[in-house]
Amino acid sequence: MFQGYTNKLLLITSILIIISGIADAAHWVSIPDYTWAGLLYLALLTYGIHRFVKGSGANPNAAVRRLMIASILRLFGALIFLLITLINTRPVNKIFLGFYCAYFCVFLLFEISQLRTNLRPDSEPRPKNENA
């Protein structure tokens, strides 16, 4: 049903919005407004990093370098938003912190699941040699 990367990312983001909205509407937790900005930021960060990694072309060395750079960019990008938000909001909102970390983990696992075939291209089974 959802074949493209963008469609799958939109689906994951929509599911997270719905789950968070239900939790907020049911008064289980009171989600701050900047949590929604954090969700959108992480979705855009994930999409941008995916485009950066896919831009490496056919050169396997460039792909590995871009994947390593993308990992650092994702971490620092997420930490920058988190630190700016935590510095500007006192006292620290633990609900925001929990939701933001959960969103980060979901988007990270999504990106890993989409890139798993490119992580080890030599792991496919080789045909057996008939002479061996």
31 contacts: CB under 8 Å, gap ≥ 6: 20, 23, 24, 95, 96, 99
Model pTM? 0.79
Residue 119 vs residues 28, 43, 68: alpha-carbon distances, Å: 39, 22, 11
Give residue-wise pLDDT tens across range 85-128: 989 988 888 888 999 999 999 999 888 888 775 556 555 555 66
d(CA 107, CA 59): 26
Give residue-wise pLDDT tens across range 34-86: 889 999 999 999 999 888 888 766 677 777 788 889 889 999 999 999 999 98
| 3-state secondary structure (DSSP) of residue 69 | helix
Of residues 27 and 10, which shows the higher confidence score? 10
Contact (CB, 8 A) for 56 and 62: yes
d(CA 87, CA 97): 12
29 contacts: CB under 8 Å, gap ≥ 6: 23, 95
Q: How confident is the model at residue 7 (pLDDT cuts 50, 70, 90)?
A: confident
pLDDT of residue 77: 93
In the chain, where does DSSP find H-type helix? 5-25, 33-54, 60-88, 94-119
